[in-house]
């Protein structure tokens, strides 16, 4: 009997466990995964919107500073162009009296750029002016790329032709988001005012914060992470150090995937990737802008392990509850078996007295329930066999 009761409990618990797991945990897991992936895709699209919005604001702000009269007065572009006439794309090679003119103009322009920096008219990291040939005329205090010619970049060549724009460019080994806008002196384009924001982990963190502020938290652990990178290196990310390194290794090991993304243009690409033992839902897309090198990407991602953690806990809790119910079922089957078998066992003990020859032994008529009914019937059977008066069921054999 114990086995039958336990098997019945086991079957009921097993059916309940799998039903609850399928109807609640598995369903919630699938819904959470769908929502998390949708959140990452939404963040990828939201970044494009933020980038376009910030770009328009940045271009307008740079155009206003490019009209700053003190800056225009400091940049004597006619004297500058005469001084570099023999080396239009290599200012560093200018010699003699022309070199002194170049240094003087550079100094005056740099002073004005430093004023713009110190007065926080432009909060970006690198401010610089290029001439109509793409040469860097001067830079602010934080600039690190003087004496360079940037005419090979679409952004700067477009700016000296009169087109304001923004792009992500690499200068002197560092990657910047740069706004370039033409500088007009007496109706002529003298060069371009440029404002660059260094892309690194800090800028990636700022973008991640902006993305998370614009979305309602809909799940525990549902924080969006952000990263800038190209085909060769990770430029910056909001990831913790260990997963940051894991994403860097992912980039190095999946260049063919990045090539396919480039061929797909601005389409967003979804992946499930493992970073340092942690699973992430990731969207990777080509970075908007001119991107003349065609290698800039950005990624939005969310930790699948963190958003799924509550469901994993629920799954484990459900398993623990099932085990507890199994143990309780086993205990219950033992208790029930003992309860129902006790009258029978007591009856068998009394029967052994009769079998062993104790014909005077009688069963207890005062017992209740099943035991009392068995005892009364046994006493009547014994009395009938011995030819005695059958005892009354109510009074017993007195």
Flag whether pLDDT at 48 surpasses 80.
yes
Q: What is the pLDDT of residue 263?
A: 77
Q: Does the residue 57 lie in any domain?
A: no
What digits encode the pLDDT tens for the residues 289-298? Answer: 765 555 789 9
Q: What is the pLDDT of residue 36?
A: 87
Q: Are residues 220 and 266 in the same domain?
A: yes
* More confident call, 150 vs 341: 150
Q: Are residues 84 and 189 in the same domain?
A: yes
* More confident call, 32 vs 8: 32
CATH of the domain at 301: 3.30.450
Give how many domains the chain has, as a whole number: 3
Q: What average pLDDT does the segment 350-360 reach?
A: 72
Flag whether pLDDT at 370 surpasses 70.
no
Q: Are residues 79 and 188 in the same domain?
A: yes
Coil, strand or helix: which one is 1? coil
Q: How far apart are CA 161 and CA 5, in angstroms?
A: 89
* More confident call, 67 vs 256: 67
Q: Are residues 298 and 380 in the same domain?
A: no
Q: What is the pLDDT of residue 390?
A: 61
Q: Does the residue 28 lie in any domain?
A: yes
Coil, strand or helix: which one is 171? strand
* Residue that terminates a domain, selected from 253, 288, 307: 307
Q: What is the pLDDT of residue 114?
A: 93
What digits encode the pLDDT tens for the residues 243-253? Answer: 999 999 999 89
Q: Does the residue 235 lie in any domain?
A: yes
The DSSP annotation for 84-99 comes to: TTT-TT-GGG--HHHH
Q: How far apart are CA 176 and CA 265, in angstroms?
A: 21
Q: What is this structure's pTM?
A: 0.73
Flag whether pLDDT at 318 surpasses 70.
no
Residue 320 belongs to domain spanning: 311-386
Q: Does the residue 394 lie in any domain?
A: no
For residue 144, name the pLDDT band (cuts at 50, 70, 90). low
* Residue that terminates a domain, selected from 197, 221, 256: 197
* Residue that terminates a domain, selected from 276, 307, 338: 307
Q: Does the residue 362 lie in any domain?
A: yes
Give the rounded distance of the alpha carbon of 68 from its chain centre: 43
Q: What is the pLDDT of residue 396?
A: 46
Flag whether pLDDT at 85 surpasses 80.
yes
Flag whether pLDDT at 397 surpasses 60.
no
Q: Are residues 207 and 177 in the same domain?
A: no
The neighbour count for residue 296, using CB atoms within 10 Å, is 25
Q: Among 19-23, 78-82, 114-118, 389-393, where is mean pLDDT lowest?
A: 389-393
CATH of the domain at 128: 3.30.450.20
* More confident call, 284 vs 259: 284
Flag whether pLDDT at 180 surpasses 90.
yes
Q: Does the residue 114 lie in any domain?
A: yes
φ/ψ of 186, rounded to 5, equals 55, 40
Q: What is the pLDDT of residue 292?
A: 52
The owner of tokens 């009258």 is 343
Q: Are residues 35 and 86 in the same domain?
A: no
């Amino acid at each position: 009997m114990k086995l039958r009761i336990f098997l019945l409990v086991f079957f009921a618990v097993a059916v309940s466990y799998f039903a609850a797991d399928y109807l609640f945990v598995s369903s919630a897991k699938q819904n959470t995964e769908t929502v998390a992936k949708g959140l990452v895709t939404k963040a990828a699209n939201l970044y494009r919107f933020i980038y376009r919005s910030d770009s328009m604001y940045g271009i307008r702000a740079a155009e206003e500073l490019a009209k700053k009269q003190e800056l225009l007065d400091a940049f004597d572009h006619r004297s500058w162009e005469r001084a570099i006439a023999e080396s239009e794309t290599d200012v560093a090679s200018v010699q003699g009296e022309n070199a002194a003119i170049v240094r003087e103009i550079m100094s005056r322009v740099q002073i004005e750029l430093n004023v713009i920096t110190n007065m926080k008219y432009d909060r970006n990291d690198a401010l610089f002016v290029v001439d109509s040939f793409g040469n860097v005329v001067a830079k602010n205090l934080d600039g690190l790329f003087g004496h360079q010619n940037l005419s090979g970049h679409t952004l700067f060549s477009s700016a000296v032709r009169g087109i304001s724009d923004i792009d992500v460019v690499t200068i002197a080994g560092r990657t910047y988001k740069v706004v370039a806008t033409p500088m007009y002196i007496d109706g002529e384009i003298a060069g371009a005012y440029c404002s660059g924001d260094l892309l690194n982990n800090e800028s990636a963190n700022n973008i991640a914060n902006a993305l998370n502020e614009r979305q309602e938290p809909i799940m525990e652990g549902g924080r969006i992470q952000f990263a800038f990178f190209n085909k060769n290196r990770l430029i910056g990310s909001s990831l913790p150090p260990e997963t940051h390194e894991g994403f860097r290794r992912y980039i190095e090991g999946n260049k063919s995937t990045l090539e396919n993304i480039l061929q797909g243009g601005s389409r967003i690409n979804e992946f499930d990737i493992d970073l340092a033992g942690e699973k992430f839902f990731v969207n990777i897309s080509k970075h908007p802008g001119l991107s003349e090198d065609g290698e800039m990407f950005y990624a939005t991602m969310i930790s699948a392990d963190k958003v799924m953690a509550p469901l994993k806990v629920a799954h484990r809790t459900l398993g623990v509850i099932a085990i507890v119910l199994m143990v309780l079922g086993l205990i219950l089957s033992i208790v029930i078996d003992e309860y129902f078998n006790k009258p029978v066992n007591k009856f068998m003990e009394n029967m052994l007295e009769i079998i062993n020859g104790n014909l005077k032994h009688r069963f207890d008529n005062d017992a209740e329930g099943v035991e009392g009914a068995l005892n009364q019937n046994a006493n009547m059977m014994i009395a009938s066999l011995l030819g005695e008066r059958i005892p009354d069921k109510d009074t017993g054999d007195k």
